[in-house]
Structure 1
């Protein structure tokens, strides 16, 4: 599981930072990529990476401000010409369905793959045998959501040597034990899978927040996350300005990470008022409150290791 930043700026494209888009790479887990927001020129950013649009399985939109959605119609359209045939599901606030359908209709764009659009409300918006995704409303000028991506616990590592000692040859039984199934052998012995599996691997949690003021729902979504992605449009000391514009400061992002018991914080949605020389200071401000803090940059990748 890796998180890759395609755009990390605030408001409008800048020379050093494109507007918001984040890719959660789940290539080992499900051979797929999930996108969070698709700002203008996201598909151009992808051209400079190894990401394959045909791998995009889900797109989660935090809110409908242009710097988070203007790249969506183009990306959906281009995917048809880049080998994309599998279904894509887009999740987002009310209005996302009309925006996509109108854009594709007026441009007479035909998609060669199935597209599902789900307008969300608070709560669990997706669950399968691997992941749960929860959404909660944040505090912004328009409805803005944060997403908590929870990986379900995995069975422990198969103790193959122990199975061989028990007289079991590699084959289907190994797979059944790995899946947690009890097996009755030809000689009548019953194999308890718990005796042949290592400790259960705890699932990872990634929290990706849309634009927001400091708020309680951000804290809830971030609880004990392995990685928190939090906007930091303003520097420490500009809390009044951040509040007036429905955004957060470096200190507020760090305070959420500290109170939530996160393992790592990465600041994003950085205003173009801060140049490259300022970025280190932004990180230092957050580290005063939450030491394990980093700052996003376009094309930066963060690995999220197993617990």
Structure 2
């Protein structure tokens, strides 16, 4: 029984529900409805029926893996991987006792009808933090690697604490295509300052990730999201936008604040999609009531230059300039990249001196490299492992080595790899990555990437944390050593079979057909920038 508001109470009381007998009624409603005196009286009147209540107030574990991974990562570094907001509450979780014929439902609650009617919560998942740590320490490979680096990491952590300031980057989703237990799809929060947040991408589940991370502070965080950037029209980058904007409006109401439109930087085509969503789902507000649209292509030349306020500049340009200036952004530029139609990358530059470049989904782009010169942080998609350049090119994505190469050409201080294929859900295959040395193109040598780090969901990064984050890569690989070893075997197999890709053309051909109907902006320099970074690619070309 779905009762979204008090307006439906009268019709429920007068309905035919009372004339039938039910074993169980599951109630989907806000807590204010379920605790309403009239609603409660009606439930109690059906004394042979068990009422199971589902609302927003009850907290229990719906996916243990999220908490297990975060607890283990927190053991490695509690600064970069803070415990999730409800960790301590869930650790001491107690099931409320049923009142009469009414009880709350949780994930894995069962209602047996025979022999006794009533809730069975014996299968509920409980949080076991110490057990997760014990499993981690039973891994000898991890234990040795972590012990050797622990003292150095602690010293770096103490130094980093003194330099914590904005921006603060929170990764909400670091996987591609579809969510997995370790990685949700795309979403990154950039805290510009105390009261302004810039959201990069908004996949389905982004609002849920915010609630996992911030807990009871979620409404405040949602109200502080002033800007959202959608790089292109793929569901794993925008599927959660309607839900987030709806929850954001509710957050303003809960806080008693006047609603402020979200400034949405997006592809042109999203306007039609957005209006259809609002027309179908929203019965109170129109699309244009909730968001202020700015097309990505409007900002390919950077922020509007206001040489003649009110003269040559349009009202829209003046509005944008004032909004971005109010949060300290003196540089914001989108860059057309090669992926699908109207895909863009983004470069942010702040008046305090920091800068962030964000690739979205794309192949290597010389225009993006030029626009992002000397940034502090490059967040670049690295969907595939090194050695799959042919496949990555067909899908208009990058490999990890190509992403690192973009960071080198951009002269970025640090490169954060992001947007991994879910085949690397636990650990991306980075340490065996090889890139071409400019002076010795025929010799491939392993390199230590001391300015490259791997992103994880619920990872919190300040600029001062980045040197330490880069040192964690070997520890992550030892943590998931079995998965890393499996990927190493696959890489070895490819290197030993020069015709590996010709034997697996069906995979590439099927993806090529899938992509063939998609228009993409031409980028004449993209092909020149694709670096062939593994022995098997070199041999296959020969």
TM-score bracket, normalised by the shorter chain, equals: 0.7 to 0.9
CA contact (8 A) 2:232 2:340 kept: no
- Give the drift of 1:101: 1.6
Which of the two has higher C-alpha Rg?
2
- Give the drift of 1:266: 0.4
CA contact (8 A) 1:146 1:209 kept: yes
Cα pair distance change 1:275/1:64, threshold 3 Å: closer
Alpha-carbon distance between aligned partners in 2 of 1:250 and 1:135, rounded to the nearest angstrom: 22
Alpha-carbon distance between aligned partners in 2 of 1:21 and 1:93, rounded to the nearest angstrom: 17
Aligned Cα root-mean-square deviation (Å): 2.1
Cα pair distance change 1:107/1:116, threshold 3 Å: same
CA contact (8 A) 1:213 1:246 kept: yes
Report which of the two has the higher share of helix: 2
Q: Which position in structure 1 is the counterpart of 2:373?
A: 223
Cα pair distance change 1:46/1:16, threshold 3 Å: same
Question: C-alpha deviations, 1:80-134, integer Å up to 9, x for none?
Answer: 1112622210011111222212111111243496520112212225544320210
List alignment gaps of at least 5 residues for structure 1.
Answer: 154-202
Residues 52-131 of structure 1 aligned to structure 2 (within 5 Å): 52-83=221-252, 85-111=259-285, 114-121=290-297, 122-125=300-303, 127=321, 128-129=324-325, 130-131=328-329
Of 128, 132, 136, the residue aligned with 2:335 is 136
Alpha-carbon distance between aligned partners in 2 of 1:244 and 1:62, rounded to the nearest angstrom: 19
Q: Which position in structure 2 is the counterpart of 1:264?
A: 414
Of 454, 459, 465, the residue aligned with 1:300 is 459
Alpha-carbon distance between aligned partners in 2 of 1:288 and 1:242, rounded to the nearest angstrom: 22
Cα pair distance change 1:149/1:283, threshold 3 Å: farther
Cα pair distance change 1:150/1:144, threshold 3 Å: same
Question: C-alpha deviations, 1:34-93, integer Å up to 9, x for none?
Answer: 101100111111101225101110001100101001100111111111126222100111
Cα pair distance change 1:273/1:105, threshold 3 Å: same
Residues 187-266 of structure 1 aligned to structure 2 (within 5 Å): 203-266=353-416
CA contact (8 A) 2:180 2:422 kept: yes
Q: Which position in structure 2 is the counterpart of 1:147?
A: 346
CA contact (8 A) 1:265 1:294 kept: yes
State the TM-score, normalizing by the size of structure 2.
0.45
- Give the drift of 1:26: 1.5
State the TM-score, normalizing by the size of structure 1.
0.77
Q: How many residues align?
A: 253
| Large movers: runs of 4+ above 6 Å | none
Q: Which position in structure 1 is the counterpart of 2:430?
A: 282
